[in-house]
Amino acid sequence: MKKYYYLVLTPESLIVSHLAPFEFGNYLSVGTKKRTRGQNIFFELDPNKLNKLPVDYIESKLVPYPNGEPKRSVFCYIYRALEKTPLTALKNLYLVTDDGKVLELHSSEYEEIESDEIHMYQQFNPITTRVASKLLPNEYVQFLTDTSKPVSTPKLVFVELLLNELAHNPNAPIYNLPYPNPDHLRDCLVKLNDTKGKVTKTVLRFLQGDISYRTIKNGFFIGEFNHYLFYRFPSVEELESEHYNWWRSALTQHF
């Protein structure tokens, strides 16, 4: 059987499986008996570009079950998996709803447009802080992955979230943005705006639970100091016309 290699962000791990991406995403979210539910985000990897894989361990563990069923997951790393993964090994990114619907995203060019708006970034690995920032996404990657600074990380994965009118005016109505404690969010944006020289402000120290996919502004970023990749999130029009089942699932609160 073919082997597939995945960098899973929720939680961080490197997994080898006999399942292709869409089957693997469904398995991660709902299991084999459909008794569990949980959102998942992962990259497919090119094994030829990975370093120091435990080949003998994989060969011994990734074997079909006696009844011929494929082996669904063999964990290779559960610690610093992102740090060990070269950006060149990343293939497509997959977003999975909590009932197992899978959306595939391809890497693309990111258009860097200068503006004075505030951005909000939800980080996934290796930290899960939600941050408001005056920095553009590419600048934010460089800012946090500059390992010459005491506060840094070798690599970073994050998504930019919608702020709508709040990006320009912290006192604007929040409308239908589903963020917890909107008054706290507004206070963070005001503090960031009013503090000269300050480029980031923590909004949420730890992500508890899933993110709302409908709050994604443009897409996902993964990078290190001098290089990053961008995975564009489809527009609402594209989601409704081309990925309707996934989008309907993403908008539904499941229990």
Residues in the chain: 255
Q: For 209-239, how does the pLDDT look when each residue is reduced to its tens digit (9 = 90+)?
A: 789 999 999 999 999 988 999 999 999 999 9
Average pLDDT over residues 203-212: 89
Q: Quick: pLDDT tens for 72-97.
A: 999 999 999 999 999 999 999 999 99
- Of the listed ranges 19-23, 43-47, 102-106, 122-126, the least confidently predicted one is 122-126
- Region 52-64: mean pLDDT is 96
Q: Which pLDDT belongs to residue 92?
A: 98
pLDDT computed for residue 253 by the predictor: 64
CA dist 73 → 100, 233, 237 (Å): 16, 27, 35
CB atoms closer than 10 angstroms to residue 195: 11
pLDDT higher than threshold 90 for residue 252: no
Query: pLDDT tens across 32-44, in order?
Result: 877 678 899 999 9
Residue 54 predicted with pLDDT over 90: yes
Q: What is the DSSP letter of 241?
A: H
Q: What residues does each domain of the chain span?
A: 4-105, 119-238
Is 80 exceeded by the pLDDT of residue 254?
A: no
| Window from 3-17, 150-164, 170-184 with minimum mean pLDDT | 170-184
